[in-house]
Structure 1
Amino acid sequence: MSFTVWYNTRCPVCDAGITHQKRRLIAAVKAGAIEFRDINHEPEALASCGATLDQIRRRLHVIDENGKLVVGADVAIEIWRRTPGEHWLATLTGNRVVKPVTRFVYDRFADLLYAWNKRRGHW
């Protein structure tokens, strides 16, 4: 099983960020170690995990190699950990002292971005 990232391509900010990461992770994508999937094409994909379409549009979601659901800032940290040249960012934002702040900032930004996308009709 690969590391499968679920995200919202209809959000211009999310789509640009994931497009950037896909380019940085091209070898891992080609090898099948990481996969990026648009939740808009499979809106019920994570229903069995209890994740709604709106929750996935609001925050990144991952099904990791062990079948575990990971959400939000922890997804971003894991992506950076796997991205060449960005491991330092994962180390900085994912250490036990800073991680609570990382999660708080990510969640507030995700909430603002979600509201902006709804107002702009990016659904």
Structure 2
Amino acid sequence: MLGQGTKPELTVWYNKRCPVCNVGIGRQKRRLIEAVKAGRIEFRDIDFEPAALAGYRASLEDIRRRLHATDAQGQLLVGADVVIAVWKATPGEGWLATLFGNPIALPLTRFAYDRFADLLYAWNRRKGRW
């Protein structure tokens, strides 16, 4: 268990109102249950703390559009970099982080993630999910 004042290794901010995001985060929470219980990883719904990442100049809309996370050192991760960090922490999914996060694949991974995130964001806005 982390001591008081100790930051989690990874805090992931997401939009729970997005059904795709919510299902994906739910799956990861189940796969990371021990890390979540121990406080090493947190998953937080941005709608409860809309200004949580304002110090990073990340708006509520930015976080609704793409996953954001902070690590224990306070570094901000965005989009595909969050997914890769979660895969690294998830038992049995480190190979995904290696495959999609290597220096050759990473630009394509980020591009694909961003295009998917743009489509998902537009779909959620059309459906009035905020």
User: TM-score range, shorter-chain basis?
Assistant: over 0.9
Q: Which AA in structure 2 matches 1:116?
A: W
Q: Which AA in structure 2 matches 1:75?
A: V
Normalized against structure 1, the TM-score is what? 0.99
User: Partner residue of 1:7?
Assistant: 14
SS at match of 2:69: strand
SS at match of 1:40: helix
Q: Which AA in structure 1 matches 2:86?
A: I
Report how many aligned residue pairs link the two structures. 123
Q: Structure 2: which 5+ residue stretches go unaligned?
A: 1-6
Normalized against structure 2, the TM-score is what? 0.93
Q: Any idea what the Cα deviations from partners look like across 1:69-91, whole Å, max 9, x if unmatched?
A: 11000000000010001111111
User: Partner residue of 2:102?
Assistant: 95
User: Partner residue of 1:56?
Assistant: 63
- Kindly indicate whether residue 124 of structure 2 is the aligned counterpart of residue 117 of structure 1: yes
Cα distance, 1:48 vs. partner? 1.2
SS at match of 1:88: helix
Q: After the TM superposition, which parts of structure 1 deviate over 4 Å for at least 4 consecutive aligned residues? A: none
Cα distance, 1:49 vs. partner? 1.0
Q: Which AA in structure 1 matches 2:126?
A: R
Instruction: Write the distance in 2 (CA, Å) between the matches of 1:64 and 1:80.
Output: 14
Instruction: Write the distance in 2 (CA, Å) between the matches of 1:48 and 1:101.
Output: 29
Cα distance, 1:113 vs. partner? 0.2
Q: Which AA in structure 2 matches 1:114?
A: Y
Aligned identity (percent) is 67
Q: Structure 1: which 5+ residue stretches go unaligned?
A: none
